[in-house]
């Protein structure tokens, strides 16, 4: 068994802290273990293949999200082989105190964000919120989150008016930007594939583009 990594346990896990060997994350792991509320494991994402751990009704990944790090060394629970298996998982990102890194965490599917400048109290609050089915943004990040929300609202409103998109067309455009196929869009929005195809055709005409793949490029910021 590697140092800092818990072996197969009869007790299902609550939390996986996923990060290459780092003093701050080692300290976090030890403190969470010491509090006694959560069954926790520390995993180095550079060490593959990953071990698999069973979880209870909900598991939480605590991850580092930093625009300066090499993405190849980071773990993405949306696409990489699962470490926590057996039920729903959520992601709590520890990030540098910058708007760029907060945006990156949000785009990476974060359910919660904690500034690396804040203490364990905020980390525990984030963990509690995620286990309660809520999202979380630590207090010091709120001004940055407001800036992002304000900018996106203005950008979305501008683009919608500029191209005269309907609310439904805007919904579909956002899903196309996330690489949804027509069939996946139909399932997500509870529409027929034929209806989605018509909306996509209208989007191509309104945006004056030849391909669905150009829709996302034309509507950056929606």
pLDDT single digits (tens) 155-192: 444 444 467 778 888 888 888 888 889 999 999 888 88
pLDDT in tens, 22-42: 777 888 888 888 888 888 888
Q: How many angstroms separate the CA atoms of 200 and 85, rounded?
A: 37
Average pLDDT over residues 113-140: 90
Distances in Å between the Cα of 173 and the Cα atoms of 63, 99, 103, 106, 208 are 30, 25, 20, 19, 14
Q: How many angstroms separate the CA atoms of 120 and 108, rounded?
A: 23
DSSP 71: G
Q: What is the pTM of this model?
A: 0.61
- What stretch(es) of the chain map to CATH 3.40.50.2300? 13-142
- What stretch(es) of the chain map to CATH 1.10.10.10? 152-218
Calculate the average pLDDT of the chain.
Answer: 79
Superfamily of domain 13-142: Response regulator (3.40.50.2300)
Task: Give the pLDDT of residue 222.
Answer: 52
Q: Which of 82-96, 99-113, 126-140 has the highest average model confidence (pLDDT)?
A: 126-140
Domain spanning 152-218, CATH class: mainly alpha
């Amino acid at each position: 068994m590697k140092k800092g990594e818990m072996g197969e346990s009869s007790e299902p896990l609550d939390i996986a802290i996923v990060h290459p060997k780092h003093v701050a994350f080692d300290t976090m792991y030890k403190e969470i273990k010491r509090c006694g509320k959560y069954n926790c494991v520390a995993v180095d994402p550079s060490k593959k293949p990953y071990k698999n751990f069973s979880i209870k009704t909900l598991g939480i990944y605590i991850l580092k999200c930093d625009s300066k790090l090499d993405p190849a060394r980071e773990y993405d629970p949306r696409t990489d082989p699962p470490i926590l298996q057996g039920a729903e998982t959520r992601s709590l990102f520890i990030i540098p105190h910058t708007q760029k890194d907060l945006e990156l965490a949000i785009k990476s599917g974060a359910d919660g964000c904690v500034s690396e400048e804040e203490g364990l109290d905020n980390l525990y609050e984030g963990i509690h919120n995620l286990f309660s089915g809520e999202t979380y943004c630590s207090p010091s990040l709120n001004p940055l989150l407001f800036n992002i929300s304000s900018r996106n609202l203005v950008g979305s409103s501008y683009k919608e008016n500029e191209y005269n998109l309907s609310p439904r067309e805007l919904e579909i455009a956002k899903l196309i930007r996330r690489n949804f196929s027509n069939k996946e869009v139909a399932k997500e929005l509870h529409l027929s594939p034929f209806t989605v195809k018509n909306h996509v055709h209208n989007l191509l005409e309104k945006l004056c583009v030849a391909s669905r793949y150009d829709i996302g490029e034309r509507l950056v910021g929606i």
